[in-house]
Amino acid sequence: DTAVSQTPKYLVTQMGNDKSIKCEQNLGHDTMYWYKQDSKKFLKIMFSYNNKELIINETVPNRFSPKSPDKAHLNLHINSLELGDSAVYFCASSQDRASSEQYFGPGTRLTVT
Amino acid sequence: AQSVTQLDSQVPVFEEAPVELRCNYSSSVSVYLFWYVQYPNQGLQLLLKYLSGSTLVKGINGFEAEFNKSQTSFHLRKPSVHISDTAEYFCAVSEGYSSASKIIFGSGTRLSIRP
């Protein structure tokens, strides 16, 4: 059973397109996250939701919009994709907002051409 | 503000040799410390964590780390590595009991094992 799953695993698209990445966790956790890992493997948090409420919003272009329909899902929608958006995007979850132990999904490799 | 420094971007070692991956952090408050491992083309997996208590923390796959508050370090060690330990290792820090658990990751250390 996959604890944190993401779809798609790979996404190749052209500049200017709009795309979404989906994330689901079956751990019963309250808090979910999106991270971006660049080509140099640097990992940086983008957003965090706790029970569908946005609690962390780092300096991210407003082309990126997270959406949490319920606490088990956190999707990431990206408008007007740019070359610099190419990266691996990881979803993660934790028991609650105070819990520092996070469980990561397998990642979505986004390539913008 | 918190930060994490992994001093070595790459560490090559021979199989069955010991290894130490270095990590230093800075924070003005008490912290939680973590080591995550990322195998090729996979997500991150928690290797071990320090929350409180004993400063020597044992994790999975024979790894251990020691929290040293005076040196603000959390170095990862394994006495004898295996080919399967080839991966990227990330040290991470978060503020204990903060209102939102934001983890700050280091830049990673690539561990490559030579037969």
Residue A100 has pLDDT above 80, yes or no: no
Total count of domains within chain A: 1
Cα(B20)–Cα(A78) distance, integer angstroms: 39
pLDDT at position B66 is 95
Task: Report chain B residues whose CB lies below 8 A from the CB of A90.
Answer: 43-44
Q: Chain B: nearest CA to A2, how far in angstroms? A: 12
Is the pLDDT at B42 greater than 90? The verdict is no
Strands A10-13 and A108-112: parallel
> CB–CB of A56 and B44 under 8 A?
no
- The predicted model gives B32-54 an average pLDDT of 90
Question: What does the pLDDT average to over A69-91?
Answer: 95
pLDDT value of residue B62: 95
- Measured in whole angstroms, how far is the alpha carbon of residue B30 from the centre of its chain? 17
CATH superfamily of B3-114: Immunoglobulins (2.60.40.10)
Mean confidence (pLDDT) of chain A? 91
Q: Residue A86: is its pLDDT beyond 80?
A: yes
Average pLDDT of every residue of chain B: 90
Using the beta-carbon criterion (under 8 Å), do B44 and A50 form an inter-chain contact?
A: no
* Contact check, Cβ <8 Å, B34/A104: no
Query: Any idea what the CATH number is for the domain that residue A53 is in?
Result: 2.60.40.10
Q: What pLDDT, on the 0 to 100 scale, is given for residue A1?
A: 62
Nearest CB among B43, B90, B99 relative to A105 is that of: B43
B10 in reach of chain A (CB within 8 A) = no
What distances in angstroms separate CA A1 from CA A4, A113, B85, one per listed residue?
A: 9, 34, 24
Q: Please judge whether B105 and A101 are an interchain contact, meaning their C-beta atoms are less than 8 angstroms apart.
A: no
Report pLDDT digits (tens) over B60-84: 999 999 999 999 999 999 999 999 9
Chain B touched by A48 (CB under 8 Å): yes
Q: How confident is the model at residue A18 (pLDDT cuts 50, 70, 90)?
A: very high
The answer on pLDDT for B100 being more than 60 is no
pLDDT at B96: 59
Handedness of CA B26, B29, B34, B38 (dihedral sign): negative
Q: Is the pLDDT of residue B94 over 90?
A: no
Mutate to test the interface with B, among A43, A48, A94 (most CBs of B within 10 A): A43
* Mean pLDDT, range A56-66, rounded to an integer: 88
Domain ranges of chain B: 3-114
Domain that holds residue A67: 4-112
| 3-class DSSP assignment, residue B93 | strand
Residues of B in contact with A94 (CB under 8 A): 101
The residue of chain A nearest to residue B39, with distances taken between CA atoms, is: A106
